[in-house]
Structure formats: C-alpha cells, structure tokens
Amino acid sequence: MGRIFRNALAMLLVMTFVTGVIYPLLVTGMAQLLFPAQANGSLVLKDGRPIGSALLGQAFTAPGYFWGRPSATLPNPYNGASSGGSNLGPANPALRQAVKQRITQLRAADPGNAAPIPVDLVTASASGLDPDISPAAAQYQVARVARARGLPLGQVQALVAAHTAGRQWGIFGERRVNVLELNLALDGLQAR
C-alpha cells in the first residue's frame, strides 16, 4: 500500500511540474516569440504609454469623439473583470427602456441628425466590451464629430474610411471600425 501511495504522490508532483510549470512557460515563450503584440494584450500606445487595448472598448462620451457600442458591464462600462451581456431578451421591457434611453441620448447629442440610428449604437454586445462599431455607426456620428472639432466633414469621413477594417480573411465577420484607434487618429489630426 505504501509503494502505491509513493508512486501516486511522485506522479502527482511530476505532472504538476510538467503541466503547471513547463507547459505554461513553453506556451508563453512561443506566444511571445510568434505573436508578441497579441500575447501582451494588443496594447494601443500613445507617446510610448499604453492607453488601452485594441480588443477592449472604452467609454467615449465627449461630442468630439466617436462613441462605441454600449457596454453591459456594471457598475463601470467596459470593465473587463465583469465581462458579460445584459442577458435581456428582445421582449424584455428593461431592454426596450435601455434602447429608448440610448436613442434619446444620441438624438440629444446631435439634434439635427434624423438618420436611422444603427442598432450597434443602442445595443450592447454579448461581452459588453466590444471595441468596434459598424461603418454605418461611424458614419452616423461623422457630422457631430466634425462639427465639435471644427473639421471639414469630408476629412472626418475619409478618416473613418481609412480606419474601416474588412472582413477577417475576406470572409469572416463584418466590416468594422475600431473606436479607440479612430479617436486617436482624430486627436492626431488636431495635433498637426
């Protein structure tokens, strides 16, 4: 009986070392070697300092910035520690109320804009952390951003077009605009 216990304990220690130390170090090393940007969180830098991740949305609320998709994380928006959707179904009155409130906020921020509001500006994603909006959602906001920054409409539209990414490998997903990167490009225009 003692020999079986010693063998089991030895196997536990060996496998703990292999799967708990060797394997993670190997995978981490390979990720750092092959995909360093992704392995380090796809950080977005400004003046050499990280200000966010290309994979996580941020709360932009000033009129001179493009606004991202609403976040369902509570109590703070875009909180990676509480990632998750609201789990409110389409017939839920709370979802309808939240959408109405978001529509009211968008209309108040740009009263002259009578265009239909793209759905991704009034509904949260499943993770609540979505960093991207659709090109239609970006175009909806172009006039407000251009007016707030005193920029020509065409210049802001060209910036949106330049920051519109295509489908993954040409077939997966939809065209999208990363809000953080677009807003940084806007700040770059103002700096010139």
Q: Could you report the per-residue pLDDT of 84-111, keeping only the tens digit for each? A: 777 778 888 988 998 899 999 999 999 9
Is 135 found in the same domain as 71?
yes
Angle between helices 135-149 and 153-162 (to 10 degrees): 140
Is 55 found in the same domain as 31?
no
Is 175 found in the same domain as 95?
yes
Is 76 found in the same domain as 59?
yes
pTM of the shown model: 0.79
Q: In sequence order, which ranges of 87-171 are alpha helices (DSSP H)?
A: 93-109, 135-149, 153-162
Is 55 found in the same domain as 112?
yes
Of 29-33, 34-38, 187-191, which one has max mean pLDDT?
29-33
Is 179 found in the same domain as 93?
yes
User: With bands split at pLDDT 50, 70 and 90, how would you rate the model's confidence at 124?
Assistant: confident
> What is the domain range of residue 29?
1-40
Is 126 found in the same domain as 34?
no
Is 26 found in the same domain as 94?
no
